[in-house]
Amino acid sequence: MFNGPFVPQGMPDFTGKLTEQDVVKIQAFIQGTADAVRPKKP
C-alpha cells in the first residue's frame, strides 16, 4: 500500500495518507471479514 507497488495495475499510492497503524487495522478488518464469510469445515 506504500510506495505504490501496484500503481501500474491501477491501485492508488497511499504513501503519506495512511499510517502503519492504519494499515494494520485495515489488514485485521479484511482478515476478520474473510474468516467470517469463509465456509466452516465440518
Q: Are 31 and 25 in contact (CB under 8 A)?
A: no
pLDDT score for 24: 94
pLDDT score for 42: 80
Q: Are 12 and 1 in contact (CB under 8 A)?
A: no
Domain residue extents for the chain? 7-37
pLDDT score for 14: 86
- pLDDT tens, position by position, for the chain (42 residues)? 777 788 899 988 888 999 999 999 999 999 999 999 999 888
The Cα 23–Cα 27 span in angstroms is 6
